[in-house]
Amino acid sequence: MQREVDELQTTLSYDYGKEQQYFSLRGKCFSIESKEYTYEMCPYGKASQKDKRGYGDVALGTFTKWEGNNNTLMKFENGQTCWNGPARSCLVTFVCGAENKVIKVDEPSRCVYAMNFETPEACTTADEEEWTAKLKQLE
């Protein structure tokens, strides 16, 4: 019972955005495939890289915090250590999109990964107004 209470307190302690818009993503995972790997990102959980040849999974980190003040950069840290290098980490940029999906993964520097994640939850009133204006132009 204590474990359940602790888990609930942890869940409630997370920042789910100004309007709690990211709460629905908790407990879900999203993936994208590249030539050699499948990358998976679980908001408020973990990020990983899975080798398609069966060489195993590599932890890219666990969720630690939001970077910045607008809840669009989710930081995953303390992943598996690289050979003669730092522990892996991943910064996930949340962008406005029609559905929840990882759309891009890069490794901009050694053992540091960057993902772009589309979600309707990242859309703002400004995005909505822009779409409405574009729809009116098409009519």
Beta-strand ranges (E) seen in the chain are 30-33, 37-41, 46-51, 57-67, 73-77, 89-96, 101-109, 112-119
Coil, helix or strand for 2? Answer: helix
pTM: 0.84
Q: Say how many C-beta atoms besides its own lie within 10 A of residue 95's C-beta.
A: 14
Name 104's Cβ contacts closer than 8 Å, sequence gap at least 6.
Answer: 32, 115, 116
Give the model's pLDDT for residue 11: 67
pLDDT band, residue 64 (cuts 50/70/90)? very high
Dihedral Cα 45, 57, 59, 107, nearest 10 deg? -110
Position 136 pLDDT exceeds 80: no
